Amino acid sequence: MNIKNKILATVIACSTIVTSSLLGGQVAYAKNTYEKWHMRDIKELQPPDKVWSIVFNNEIDTKTLLKNVYVLDSDDNKVKDIRIDIVNDNEVRVVPRKDYNQGEDYYLCIDDGLKSADGTKLIKSYKQKFRVKKVDSDFFKIRTIEPVNEKCINVYFTQPVNDVLQSEAYYEILRDGDVYIERGFKNLKIKPLQGKDNGVSIYFRKSRLRGNRRYTLRILGDMTSNYGVRLGNGDGDEQNFTAVDKKDEDIKVMSVQSLSENMIEVDFNKEIDMDSGKDTDNYVLRDSYGDIIKISKAIVDEDNKSVIFKTKEDLERGEHYKLTIRNIKDALDTSEIDSKSFNIDSINKRKNRLHIKSVDALYRNVIVVHFYEKLDPETAKDIYNYTVTREDTRDDYSPDDVYFDENGDGRTVKLYFDDDVKFSKSRTYVLEVSSDMEDIFGNDSYKDITYKFTGTSNKFDGSLIKDAVIIGDNAIRLTFNQEIKDSSPNTKASNYVLESKQGKGRRVTIDCEDVKYVNPNTLVLKFDGLDFDEKYVLKIGSIEKYFGHSDDSYEEGIPVLMGE
């Protein structure tokens, strides 16, 4: 076999490089074992948000990419919430849109239908098994550490942290048990992770990490989460990690391309500062006559490495344009693009159109719709933009309410129908979304879009509250099955009282000191001096639902669970 005429793959996982020669062993695979696969089993447990990088020896034919690079779960089903990012001509990243299930096995697959740009096929199909480690805790701890390069690591926690001032005095790096990088502003730079509420980036001002060497991150217990809970309940936390063999680079532009007749995408080599990235003044687009084409809006994509912007007028096919980019900083503000110009010689005349990724029946009268594109909040919340039709009878249903959280992923809509509507598990339905629906740039779809789905046997049991869990020595997390309002009485401390029995016939009550509205499904209640050995009942005056009436059924209380 002539290796030169075949395309090879290298999978990079953390600090482990898996080459084609290492993928030769037979490994049992879920329900079947296929002879066509080069199999490998990664023994090291992977974080739930694991990102895989795949490097090929030739330029990739991107048209064959999506069907042939994917992830399977242990039941041999394709994982839906996966994004394939093209890093450059011969490298892609496999990114989970939401975390893998902890404690479960998955398979990263590279099928031999993948081709290089010149049409040659992958030499062999690759399948790599990996298991996701259990990292979550109800308490405030370090969740995972993601080494970025020799000068930077990203740290994720089990509770949100980005609203709290993070001090460089909390963090230090150990090597072989000894302090390698000391705490303090002179040695470290800490910034909240963009687009994530539970993480920080740590930049090493003077020191570098050696690739493939083990280090320990230690954080003091003085650090607090957004919930007001101290790390490790005041004891702090530490976790080992393996550094990656990757140099730190200044920010630079990797590619500029036309996505449609009025949309341009700019890709960078590293995460960028969101403020400078979405500032339209930092981009100047000119036609071949030197006239400026105005830019109406720019957004930073969720990977923080790409900017997509919309022009106020359509670009012409056959015309040549020049884009000048300036004043774009990296996420840690360690490097900046002063001014660089790039030619755009090919305009993609594709029409803008919304695409539905999936529709799931959560309950018999509630469905969840996931779009590929970020949505315009106003049109996303409009009930008249949605209609469901039963396929066999053509009966149609319109939602009573629409829930859309623009502070969430911006792509998910929850539709609430009348209690009499029952989307049965044995029936097929069609969701139709009006062409009036717009994406975040204000582009509407040039025609209505439809998506088939099946109903469910899940019936909402009427319970508004999911659970109440102790998450620290001064905090209880209250989680809801439905959305609630960010207003009184939900956010009023006097609405909540904690009660415990101490001895025969003696009841002790603790008043709530503060309430934090985290999101429409979560509240954090603050109580002073919780005893982990005590059993508590939480009594609630009333809860105001996001839709519908208030719920007064929890006055007698619900049991409070101890966090894990």
Which residue(s) pair with 88 in the sheet? 91
User: Any long-range contacts for 500-507 (C-beta under 8 Å, 24+ apart)?
Assistant: 500/531, 500/534, 500/535, 500/536, 500/537, 501/535, 502/534
Question: Residue 301 above 60 pLDDT?
Answer: yes
Q: Give pLDDT, residue 29.
A: 26
How many alpha carbons fall within 13 Å on the CB side of residue 490? 26
pLDDT value of position 122: 84
**pTM (2 decimals)?**
0.75
Tell whether the model's pLDDT for residue 31 goes beyond 70.
Answer: no
Can you give the residue ranges of every domain in the chain? Answer: 3-132, 142-242, 253-344, 356-454, 465-562
For residue 542, CA distances in Å to 465, 475, 556 come to: 12, 20, 11
The CATH number assigned to the domain with range 3-132 reads 2.60.40.1220
Q: What is the pLDDT of residues 230-240, one digit of tens each?
A: 999 999 999 99
Q: Among positive and negative, which fits the CA dihedral 267, 98, 213, 184?
A: positive
Q: What is the mean pLDDT of residues 509-538?
A: 94
**Sign of the torsion formed by the C-alpha atoms of 79, 80, 81 and 87:** positive
pLDDT digits (tens, 9 = 90+) for 101-135: 988 999 999 998 999 888 888 888 899 999 998 88
Mean pLDDT in residue range 214-222: 95
The number of residues in the chain equals: 564
What pLDDT is stored for residue 354 in this prediction? 86
User: Torsions phi, psi of 524, nearest 5?
Assistant: -120, 125
Residues 6 or more apart from 410 whose CB is under 8 A from it? 374, 375, 440
Phi–psi pair at 40, nearest 5 degrees:
-150, 140
Per the CB < 8 A criterion, the answer to whether 183 and 168 are in contact is yes
Which residues make Cβ contacts (< 8 Å) with residue 4, sequence separation at least 6? none
CA distance 71 to 134: 19
**CATH classification of 465-562, choosing from 3.30.70.1230, 2.60.40.1220, 1.25.40.10, 2.40.50.140?**
2.60.40.1220
134-184 per-position pLDDT tens digit = 888 999 999 999 999 999 999 999 999 977 767 899 999 999 999 999 999
Angle at 451 between CA 464 and CA 397, to 5 degrees: 55
The pLDDT, as a whole number, for residue 302 is: 82
- CATH tag for 356-454 (out of 2.60.40.1760, 3.40.50.720, 3.30.920.30, 2.60.40.1220): 2.60.40.1220
Q: Which is more confidently placed, 347 or 308? A: 308
For the stretch 238-293, pLDDT in tens is 999 999 999 999 999 999 999 988 999 999 999 999 999 999 999 999 999 999 99
Residue 374 φ then ψ, to 5°: -75, 145
- How confident is the model at residue 99, as a pLDDT? 87
Strands 396-397 and 386-390: antiparallel
Query: What is the average per-residue pLDDT within 189-198?
Result: 89
Q: What is the mean pLDDT of residues 301-307?
A: 89
Phi/psi class of residue 234: alpha, beta or left (left: φ > 0; alpha: ψ in -120 to 50)? left
Residue 224, pLDDT > 50, answer yes
Q: What mean pLDDT value characterizes the chain?
A: 88
Q: pLDDT band at 6, cuts 50/70/90?
A: low
Among 43-57, 140-154, 472-486, which stretch is predicted with the lowest mean pLDDT? 43-57
Is it the case that residue 311 has pLDDT exceeding 90?
yes
For 481, the token pair is: 């099955």
pLDDT exceeds cutoff 80 at 212: yes
Residue 221: per-residue pLDDT? 93
CA 68 to chain centre: 23
Q: Which residue has the higher pLDDT, 97 or 536?
A: 536
Q: How confident is the model at residue 325 (pLDDT cuts 50, 70, 90)?
A: very high
Beta carbons within 8 Å of 373's beta carbon, 6+ residues apart: 354, 355, 411, 439, 440
User: Per-residue pLDDT for 497 more than 90?
Assistant: yes
The pLDDT confidence band at residue 10, using thresholds 50, 70 and 90, is low
Q: The tokens 């700019």 sit on which residue?
A: 266
Residue of 429, 301, 436 lying closest to 365 (CA atoms): 429
Give me the pLDDT at residue 2, please.
43
How many Cβ atoms are within 10 Å of 271's Cβ, its own excluded?
22
Q: Which of 534, 525, 535, 550 is CA-nearest to residue 228?
A: 525
Apex CA 406: angle with CA 405 and CA 407, to 5°? 90
Q: How many CA atoms lie within 13 A of 263 on its CB side?
A: 18
Name the CATH topology of 253-344.
Immunoglobulin-like (2.60.40)
Mean pLDDT of 506-518: 92
Q: Average of pLDDT values for 307-325?
A: 93
- Return d(Cα 357, Cα 417) in angstroms, integer: 21
Q: What is the pLDDT of residue 124?
A: 83
pLDDT at 7: 62
Name the 3-class secondary structure at 274: helix
| pLDDT above 60 for 470 | yes
Which of the two residues, 244 and 11, has the higher pLDDT score? 244
What residues contact residue 327 under an 8 Å CB cut-off, 6+ apart?
A: 276, 279, 282, 336, 337, 338
Res 550 pLDDT > 90: no
Q: What is the pLDDT of residue 281?
A: 96
Q: Which CATH number fits domain 142-242: 3.20.20.190, 3.40.50.720, 2.60.40.1220, 1.10.443.10?
A: 2.60.40.1220
Would the CATH topology of 142-242 be identical to that of 356-454?
Answer: yes
